[in-house]
Amino acid sequence: MKQHIGLVRHGLTDWNAQGKIQGQTDIPLNETGREQARLLAERLVQETAPFDYVISSGLQRAEETASILADALQIPLLSPVEGLRERAYGLVEGTTPEEREQRWGAGWRKMDLGQEKDEELQYRAVQTLEHIANQHMGSNLLVVSHGSWLAQLYIALFGSDRQGHIGNLSYSILEKRSEGWYPLLYNCMEHIRHLDLTAKPR
């Protein structure tokens, strides 16, 4: 039997709205983020999405998003998985775009400021995906994680052609086949397309 993994980015936070990098700093959803989660929940209920469990990182913005989805779908919310946590961003966590430019210049992304490197995050993301898929073999999972985690997972699995921005409440579906992972749906935002509920660019 083919296994399906739904992948969701958490809802909007105040730091998202301000363009602040959160990383592993534990910032809650704001009311807009909760509304985004409810809109995706409505979509999944209407589509009778065949998920058996919801699972998330241990950061509260992901856990609360996952809880809203699990309640709407009336399926269990499993214990959080540390490997689903966002990229550690080191010194840049909590800074706005203007602050980053002022402190480190436009090339800050290429500097060593204590952030988890792309290849490190790609390895962690793929290993975590494989682990939870194998741990729950035969079940379809809805996984709530974070923007950089998801972006680097897609690059690791499918290459740089999957390098688009992953917005809040982005929804994707992967199918596990004998030859590997296949994308059935990628970075879909239709459930919140009519709302201006977006984060400030970083």
From the candidates 4, 10, 146, 191, give the one annotated as an active-site residue: 10
Q: Are 4 and 181 in contact (CB under 8 A)?
A: no
Q: Would you call 4 a catalytic residue per the annotation?
A: no
Does 202 reside within a domain? no
Q: Is residue 38 part of a domain?
A: yes
% the chain with pLDDT above 90: 87
For residue 5 the two structure tokens come to: 């993994």
In tens, the pLDDT along 31-63 reads 999 999 999 999 999 998 799 999 999 999 999
**pLDDT for the residue numbered 195:** 67
Query: What distance in Å separates the CA atoms of residue 125 and residue 58, rounded to the nearest whole number?
Result: 15
- Residue-wise pLDDT for 78-120, tens only, equals 999 999 999 999 999 999 999 999 999 999 989 999 999 999 9
- Whether the per-residue pLDDT at 72 is higher than 90: the answer is yes
Question: Residue 55 falls within a domain, yes or no?
Answer: yes
- Binding residues, by number, are 9-16, 61, 86-89
DSSP letters for the chain: --EEEEEEEPPPBHHHHHT---TTS---B-HHHHHHHHHHHHHHHHTT----EEEE-SSHHHHHHHHHHHHHHT--BPPP-GGGSPPP-GGGTT--HHHHHHHH-TTGGGS-SSPPPHHHHHHHHHHHHHHHHHHTTT--EEEEE-HHHHHHHHHHHH-GGG-----TT-EEEEEEETTEEEEEEEEE-GGGTTS---PPP-
199 lies in a domain?
no
The model carries a pTM of 0.93
Domain count, the chain: 1
- Residue 197 included in any domain: no
Q: Is 136 a catalytic residue?
A: no
Quote the pLDDT of residue 196.
59
Catalytic residue (choose from 4, 63, 64, 86): 86
Q: pLDDT tens-digit profile of 112-163?
A: 999 999 999 999 999 999 999 999 999 999 999 999 999 999 999 999 766 6
Taking the alpha carbons of 8, 56, 84, 14 in that order, is the dihedral positive or negative? positive
Q: Does 15 fall in a domain?
A: yes
For residue 153, what is the domain's CATH number? 3.40.50.1240
Question: Containing domain of residue 61, as a range?
Answer: 3-192
Residue 145 lies in a domain: yes
- Residue 48: predicted pLDDT: 83
The reported pLDDT for the residue numbered 179 is 87
On whether residue 56 sits in a domain, the answer given is yes
